C-alpha cells in the first residue's frame, strides 16, 4: 500500500506542486526525506544573556515589536524584524525573502533559531528559521532542505502525519523486512524513522541512521543481485577440471605466475566449473599481468570446446594482445584471430565465416566485436579489458552473442573496496596486488618550473643511451582544440630547440586512428625516441624501452590519471622515472603530488583519491544506474555496506524469491530501481 502526499492534511494541489519540486510525491518519499540538520530547542535563551558570535546556533523567543521592509537598491530587499523578551532585544534580518513578511505581525510571539552576532551595537540574527509561538522543550527539531514557498513547519507537519500513517500501515515503510534482524538493528524500523526525524538525542539519531543505512544498503545489494538474475535462473556452461591444454599452456609459460595471478585464476577456475555463469572483475595495477590471467581463462574455455572473445578499448591494445596471445599459445592447437576497424573487408568476410563455423577459437578485437554480423558458433567466455572504458550496454552486447557465457572483466583502475562493493555488488572481485618480480619502482619526482632545463638535460642523457621518453602535455581546458594547440607548440619547441638530435613524434586525440597507430608503432619500434602526447595517451601500450614519463602541468591531473600515466614506464629492466612538473598549486595539489612520490600501489592511491575528492564527487563512478543513497554514506559506512552485502547474499541463497523482493525495492528506489533492472 502507498499513499500520495495529497492524502495528508494541509496538502492541496498548490503544496503538492511545491513538494514535487523536492521530488516528494508519496508518503514513503516523505519518510525518506531526512533532515539536513536539527535545532536543539531544549533550551531557550533570555535574549539579553544569549552569547554572541560563538558560531553556534541557538534559540531565542520573544514578541515581535516591529517589522520593517527596505529596498536599498533595485533587486535587493531587506526585512528587519525586532523581537524583545524583557531581558533584551534582537534584530532578525533577511535578504530577498520578502515572502517572509506575510508570516509576521507585530505583537505575535516568535521563536527564532540561528547564529547570534553583534552588529552595529545590536544583537542580530541573519536569516534565522522562525516559528510562531513559543516552542519550549521540544528537544531536537528537524531542519529540512526547503524550496521557495515551503516552510519548515509545512514539512514537519507532513512528516509527523506520515509517521502517524506508518504506525497504522507498517508496509508503507520503504524497503522491506527481509533484513530487519541485522547487526545494526537496535530498534523497530518505525522507531528508527521517528528517531531520524524527531530524535530524542543525537546518539539515538545516529543509531537510527546506521540502522536505516543498513536497510538501504541491503536493499541496494539485493537489487544488484536481482539485476544479475532477473532473467530467471541462469544456467552456466559448466567446465570440466583442467586438462591437457591448460597443462601444456602452463608448461610453455615463460615465467612463473605471481601469487595474485595464481589466486585470480583459481577464482576463475572455480567460477567456470560451477553451474552459474561467471561474473568476475579482475583488478590490478598497470603491469600486474592481467593479460596472462585472461589467456588462462580463454584456454580453459577452448579446452571445453567453446569459443572465447577478448575486447579491448583501442586498436593498438587489441593488436598488442593478439601478438602476446600468439606468443603464449605458440605450438598449441588454438586458433586466434584479430578483428578491429583496420581489418579489411575481405579479411573480415573470411574471418566471420571461420568464426561462425567454429574455425576460430579465440577472437580478439575492439568494439568491432559487437557489430551485428559478428556471430560465433558457440561463445563460452567474454573478456573485457579496461572494462571501465566500455558502457554497460557494450559489455552486455558482447555477452548476448553467446548463450549465458562466462564473463570476465579486467581493470587497471583499482577501485577502493567501498566502491567495488557498491558498484559491483553483483560482481565477484579478484585483486592482483603485487607486480611480477624484478620490476623496479618508478622513481617519481614532483618538480617546479625552475628545474625544467635540468629535467631536459637529464632526459637527453638517457636518450643518448638509447632510452625513450614520453612527454604528456597539460590538459588546458575541456577543449580539445586548445589542448591540441598547446601540445603542438610544446612539440615544435622540443623538436626544434631542445632535443634537436632526437627523433620526436606527436600523438593526440584529434588524429585519425590510422595516423595515431602509425606514430605509436614508430615509437614502439624505436624510430621515435621522444613522444609528445596529449593526456589521451593510449591505455595499456607496452614499450619496455621507454624509461621517462614527463608530465607537464601535473597539477591538472587527478591521482588515478597520474598513476595510470606512470604505469606506461618501468616495464623493462632499466630504472624508470616519472617527473611531475607542476606550477604552484593548492595544498590539495601538493598533497596529491607528494602521494605520487611516496605511494606506488594503485589500490592505496585510489583510496587516497577518494579521500581527497570526498563522497560528493563520486558522480563519475555513479553512472551505473545506482540509486541515490539517503541514509548511508558510501565512504564512511564501509562496515555497514559489507555486512549488508553478506546479508543480502544470504537472503538470496535462502529464498531466491524475486517476486517477494521486487515490490518493496521498487517502493524504496522508485524509478531508479527499474533502471537497475533494465541495465
Map residues 410-449 to x or -, x wherever contact with ligand ADP holds by CB under 6 A: --x-----------------------x-------------
Going through 354-442 in order, the beta strands assigned E by DSSP cover 362-365, 379-384, 406-411, 428-432
| C-beta nearest to ligand ADP: residue | 289
Which one, 315 or 540, has the nearer CB to Mg ion?
540
Which one, 410 or 559, has the nearer CB to Mg ion?
410
Instruction: Check: CB of residue 227 under 8 Å from CB of residue 652.
Output: no
Interface region with Mg ion, contact rule CB under 5 A, candidates 126-134, 331-339, 536-544, 583-591: 536-544
Which one, 125 or 294, has the nearer CB to ligand ADP?
294
What is the b/e burial string over 242-270, where b = at least 16 CB atoms within 10 angstroms of the residue's CB?
beebbeebeeeeeeebbebbebbbebbbe
Residue 534 interaction partner, one of Mg ion, ligand ADP, none, beta carbon < 5-8 Å per kind: none
- Supply the minimum distance, in Å, between the C-beta of residue 564 and Mg ion: 11
Residue 255 interaction partner, one of ligand ADP, Mg ion, none, beta carbon < 5-8 Å per kind: ligand ADP
For position 602 contacting ligand ADP by CB under 6 A, the verdict is no
- Supply the minimum distance, in Å, between the C-beta of residue 288 and Mg ion: 9
Selected binder of ligand ADP within 292, 398, 507, 610 (CB under 6 A): 292
CA–centroid distance for 646 within its chain: 21
Selected binder of Mg ion within 540, 567, 570, 664 (CB under 5 A): 540
- Supply the minimum distance, in Å, between the C-beta of residue 449 and Mg ion: 34
Per the document, the length of the chain is 679
- 266: its cell numbers: 583459481
For position 289 contacting ligand ADP by CB under 6 A, the verdict is yes
Instruction: Check: CB of residue 288 under 8 Å from CB of residue 377.
Output: no
Nearest C-alpha neighbor of 293 from the set 322, 267, 332: 267
What is the b/e burial string over 157-178, where b = at least 16 CB atoms within 10 angstroms of the residue's CB?
ebbebbbebbeeeeebbbbbeb
For position 566 contacting ligand ADP by CB under 6 A, the verdict is no
- Supply the minimum distance, in Å, between the C-beta of residue 325 and Mg ion: 12
Which one, 93 or 415, has the nearer CB to Mg ion?
415
Query: Which residue is listed with cell 572465447?
Result: 308
The single-letter DSSP state of residue 278 is: P
Instruction: Check: CB of residue 60 under 8 Å from CB of residue 44.
Output: yes
- Supply the minimum distance, in Å, between the C-beta of residue 559 and ligand ADP: 18
Which one, 291 or 314, has the nearer CB to ligand ADP?
291
Which one, 261 or 422, has the nearer CB to ligand ADP?
261
For residue 124, give Cα distances in angstroms to 52, 91, 296.
Answer: 9, 5, 72
Residue 664: partners with Cβ closer than 8 Å, 6 or more residues away: 174, 175, 176, 178, 219
Residue 340 interaction partner, one of ligand ADP, Mg ion, none, beta carbon < 5-8 Å per kind: none
For position 290 contacting ligand ADP by CB under 6 A, the verdict is yes
Which one, 163 or 382, has the nearer CB to ligand ADP?
382
In a 13 Å sphere around the CA of 308, the CA atoms on its Cβ side amount to: 25
Instruction: Check: CB of residue 291 under 8 Å from CB of residue 378.
Output: no
Which one, 172 or 286, has the nearer CB to ligand ADP?
286
Residue 42 interaction partner, one of ligand ADP, Mg ion, none, beta carbon < 5-8 Å per kind: none
For position 289 contacting Mg ion by CB under 5 A, the verdict is no
For residue 217, give Cα distances in angstroms to 34, 105, 309, 648, 678.
Answer: 16, 47, 34, 9, 20
- Supply the minimum distance, in Å, between the C-beta of residue 334 and ligand ADP: 18
Number of residues engaging Mg ion in binding (CB under 5 A): 1
Taking CB under 6 A as the criterion, which residues in 525-544 touch ligand ADP? 542
- 272: its cell numbers: 567456470
Which one, 256 or 479, has the nearer CB to ligand ADP?
256
Residue 354 CB coordination number (10 Å): 15
Taking CB under 6 A as the criterion, which residues in 362-421 touch ligand ADP? 412
Selected binder of ligand ADP within 105, 139, 255, 466 (CB under 6 A): 255
Instruction: Check: CB of residue 287 under 8 Å from CB of residue 572.
Output: no
State the angle between helix axes of 315-328 and 513-525 in degrees (0 to 180), rounded to the nearest 10: 50
Number of residues engaging ligand ADP in binding (CB under 6 A): 16
Residue numbers of the site for Mg ion (CB under 5 A)?
A: 540
Residue numbers of the site for ligand ADP (CB under 6 A)?
A: 255-258, 261, 284, 286-292, 412, 436, 542
Amino acid at each position: 500500500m502507498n499513499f500520495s502526499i495529497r492524502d495528508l492534511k494541509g496538502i492541496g494541489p498548490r503544496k503538492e506542486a511545491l513538494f514535487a519540486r523536492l521530488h516528494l510525491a508519496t508518503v514513503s518519499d516523505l519518510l525518506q526525506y531526512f533532515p539536513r540538520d536539527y535545532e536543539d530547542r531544549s533550551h531557550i535563551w533570555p535574549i539579553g544573556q544569549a552569547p554572541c558570535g560563538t558560531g553556534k546556533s541557538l534559540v531565542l523567543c520573544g514578541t515581535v515589536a516591529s517589522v520593517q521592509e527596505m529596498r536599498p537598491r533595485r533587486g535587493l530587499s531587506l526585512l528587519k524584524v525586532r523581537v524583545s523578551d524583557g531581558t533584551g532585544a534582537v534584530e532578525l534580518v533577511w535578504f530577498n525573502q520578502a515572502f517572509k513578511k506575510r508570516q509576521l505581525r507585530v505583537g505575535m510571539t516568535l521563536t527564532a533559531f540561528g547564529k547570534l552576532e553583534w552588529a552595529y551595537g545590536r544583537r542580530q540574527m541573519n536569516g534565522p528559521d522562525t516559528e510562531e509561538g513559543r516552542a519550549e522543550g521540544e528537544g531536537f527539531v528537524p531542519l529540512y532542505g526547503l524550496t521557495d514557498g515551503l516552510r519548515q513547519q509545512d514539512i514537519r507537519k507532513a512528516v509527523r502525519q506520515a509517521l502517524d500513517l506508518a504506525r497504522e500501515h507498517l508496509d508503507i515503510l520503504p524497503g522491506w523486512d527481509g533484513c530487519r534482524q541485522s547487526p545494526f538493528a537496535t530498534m523497530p524500523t518505525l522507531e528508527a524513522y521517528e528517531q531520524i526525524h524527531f530524535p530524542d538525542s543525537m546518539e539515538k539519531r545516529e543509531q537510527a541512521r546506521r540502522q536505516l543505512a543498513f536497510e538501504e544498503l541491503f536493499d541496494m545489494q539485493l537489487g544488484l543481485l536481482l539485476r544479475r538474475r532477473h532473467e530467471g535462473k541462469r544456467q552456466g556452461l559448466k567446465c570440466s577440471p583442467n586438462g591437457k591444454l591448460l597443462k601444456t599452456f602452463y608448461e610453455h609459460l615463460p615465467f612463473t605466475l605471481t601469487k595474485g595471478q595464481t589466486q585470480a585464476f583459481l577464482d576463475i577456475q572455480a567460477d567456470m566449473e560451477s553451474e552459474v555463469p561467471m561474473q568476475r572483475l579482475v583488478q590490478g595495477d598497470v603491469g600486474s599481468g592481467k593479460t596472462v590471467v585472461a589467456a588462462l581463462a580463454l584456454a580453459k574455455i577452448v579446452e571445453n570446446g567453446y569459443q572465447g572473445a577478448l575486447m579491448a578499448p583501442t586498436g593498438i591494445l587489441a593488436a598488442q594482445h593478439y601478438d602476446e596471445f600468439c606468443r603464449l599459445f605458440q605450438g598449441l592447437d588454438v586458433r586466434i584471430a584479430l578483428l578491429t576497424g583496420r581489418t579489411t573487408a575481405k579479411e573480415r568476410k573470411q574471418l566471420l565465416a571461420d568464426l561462425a563455423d567454429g574455425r576460430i577459437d579465440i577472437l580478439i578485437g575492439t568494439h568491432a566485436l559487437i557489430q551485428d554480423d559478428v556471430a560465433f558458433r558457440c561463445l563460452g567466455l567474454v573478456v573485457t579489458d579496461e572494462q571501465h572504458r566500455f558502457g554497460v550496454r557494450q559489455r552486455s552486447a558482447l555477452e548476448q552473442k553467446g548463450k549465458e557465457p562466462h564473463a570476465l572483466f579486467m581493470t587497471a583502475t583499482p577501485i577502493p573496496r567501498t566502491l567495488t562493493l557498491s558498484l559491483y555488488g553483483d560482481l565477484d572481485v579478484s585483486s592482483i596486488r603485487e607486480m611480477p618480480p624484478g620490476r623496479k619502482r618508478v622513481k617519481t619526482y614532483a618538480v617546479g618550473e625552475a628545474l625544467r632545463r635540468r629535467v631536459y638535460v637529464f632526459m637527453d642523457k638517457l636518450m643518448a643511451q638509447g632510452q625513450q621518453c614520453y612527454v604528456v602535455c597539460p590538459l588546458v581546458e575541456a577543449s580539445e582544440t586548445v589542448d591540441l594547440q598547446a601540445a603542438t607548440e610544446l612539440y615544435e619547441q622540443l623538436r626544434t630547440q631542445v632535443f634537436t638530435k632526437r627523433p620526436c613524434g606527436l600523438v593526440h586525440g584529434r588524429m585519425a586512428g590510422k595516423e595515431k597507430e602509425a606514430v605509436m608503432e614508430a615509437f614502439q619500434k624505436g624510430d621515435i625516441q621522444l613522444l609528445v602526447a596529449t593526456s589521451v595517451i593510449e591505455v595499456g601500450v607496452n614499450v619496455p624501452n621507454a624509461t621517462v614519463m614527463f608530465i607537464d602541468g601535473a597539477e591538472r591531473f587527478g591521482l588515478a590519471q597520474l598513476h595510470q600515466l606512470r604505469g606506461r614506464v618501468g616495464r623493462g629492466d632499466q630504472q624508470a622515472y616519472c617527473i611531475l612538473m607542476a606550477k604552484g598549486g593548492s595544498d590539495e595539489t601538493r598533497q596529491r603530488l607528494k602521494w605520487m612520490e611516496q605511494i606506488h600501489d594503485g589500490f592505496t592511491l585510489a583510496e587516497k583519491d577518494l579521500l581527497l575528492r570526498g563522497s560528493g564527487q563520486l558522480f563519475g563512478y555513479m553512472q551505473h544506474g545506482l540509486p541515490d543513497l539517503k541514509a548511508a554514506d558510501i565512504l564512511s559506512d564501509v562496515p555497514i555496506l559489507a555486512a549488508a552485502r553478506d546479508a543480502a547474499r544470504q537472503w538470496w541463497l535462502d529464498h531466491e524469491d524475486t517476486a517477494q523482493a521486487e515490490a518493496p525495492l521498487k517502493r524504496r528506489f522508485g524509478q531508479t530501481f527499474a533502471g537497475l533492472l533494465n541495465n
